[in-house]
């Protein structure tokens, strides 16, 4: 099957035109005319993962390997080291980032992973009514996302409704109309800003909140890919962070 045939299927599932202006989703490595033997799905790329993937494969990641223009390719940075391997092994790369956040992933995590009933909307931010004590909500979310510890900002003891953006969503703070905002990568000054607005925060972390991407996309490909002989495999990259508690790593 050709890369361009897969690209057309992906574009019909989640149009690449829906990505944010700053994003770089789409076909990043390879040609639409490349013939592929396997599809591999992952939130990101890493060297260990690429060693295992055979030549003439297609990888579909959530995060783009290349965000901004490369002025040199010296194979001394994360993106250029992996680009070298991709090109040497004739591996194509498509990334689906904010387009699938917009159309599927935020809703999927809120509904299928966290079990909330979301408010029908075309907005990037997902809303749900939860009616829970804040402490109970933190415990519930931690268990569902398997968070060994969680960083929060507590402004209210009772939470009527939540807003959710997977990954790093604090740039949406000005738009949030909920008692509590669930997103990742929350910084200190962003937490201070949210507290001044009486918006509670639960940091659901970047990797943990988006790791459902591969399972989501696997299901969508099974529903939409006509060629059932083409094998799709979840080949997940590893979370780069290791968390410690009192000097001991948390498994």
pLDDT tens for each residue of 82-122: 999 999 999 999 999 999 999 999 999 999 999 999 999 88
Which residue(s) pair with 168 in the sheet?
A: 184
- pLDDT computed for residue 133 by the predictor: 98
Say if residues 19 and 95 touch (Cβ distance below 8 Å). no
Of 153, 190, 150, 154, give the one whose Cα is nearest residue 173: 190
pLDDT-derived band of residue 227, with 50, 70 and 90 as boundaries? low
pLDDT in tens, 129-156: 999 999 999 999 999 999 988 999 999 9
- pLDDT computed for residue 30 by the predictor: 96
Most distant CA pair in the chain, distance: 56
Say if residues 183 and 165 touch (Cβ distance below 8 Å). yes
**Has residue 231 got a pLDDT over 80?**
no
pTM confidence score: 0.93
E strands, the chain, in order = 26-29, 38-42, 57-61, 92-95, 126-133, 151-153, 158-168, 180-184, 200-203, 231-234, 244-245, 248-249
pLDDT in tens, 159-181: 999 999 999 999 999 999 999 99
pLDDT-derived band of residue 242, with 50, 70 and 90 as boundaries? confident
pLDDT in tens, 7-37: 999 999 999 999 999 999 999 999 999 999 9
Domains and CATH numbers, the chain: 3-96+212-234 (3.40.1390.30), 101-209 (3.40.1390.30)
C-alpha to C-alpha distance for 125 and 42, rounded to whole angstroms: 23
The single residue listed with the structure tokens 């940091």 is 203
Say if residues 152 and 203 touch (Cβ distance below 8 Å). yes
């Amino acid at each position: 099957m050709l890369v361009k045939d897969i690209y057309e299927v992906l574009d019909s599932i989640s149009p690449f035109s829906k990505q944010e202006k700053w994003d770089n989703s789409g076909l990043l490595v390879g040609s639409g005319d490349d013939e592929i033997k396997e599809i591999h799905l992952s939130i990101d790329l890493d060297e260990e993962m690429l060693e295992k993937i055979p030549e003439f494969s297609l990888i579909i990641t959530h995060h783009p390997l290349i965000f901004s223009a490369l002025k040199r390719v010296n194979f001394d940075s994360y993106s250029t080291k992996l680009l070298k391997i991709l090109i040497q092994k004739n591996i194509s790369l498509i990334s689906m980032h904010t387009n699938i956040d917009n159309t599927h992933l935020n809703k999927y995590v809120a509904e299928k992973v966290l079990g909330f009933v979301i408010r029908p909307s075309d907005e990037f931010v997902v809303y749900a009514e939860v009616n829970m004590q804040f402490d109970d909500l933190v415990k519930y979310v931690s268990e569902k996302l398997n968070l060994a510890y969680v960083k929060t900002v507590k402004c209210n003891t009772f939470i009527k409704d939540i807003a959710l953006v997977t990954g790093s969503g604090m740039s949406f703070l000005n738009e949030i109309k909920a008692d509590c905002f669930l997103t990742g990568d929350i910084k200190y000054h962003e937490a201070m800003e949210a507290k001044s607005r009486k918006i509670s925060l639960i940091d659901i972390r970047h990797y943990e909140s988006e790791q459902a991407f591969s399972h989501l996309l696997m299901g969508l490909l099974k529903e939409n890919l006509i060629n059932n002989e083409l094998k799709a495999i979840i080949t997940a990259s590893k979370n780069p962070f290791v968390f410690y508690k009192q000097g001991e790593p948390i498994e």
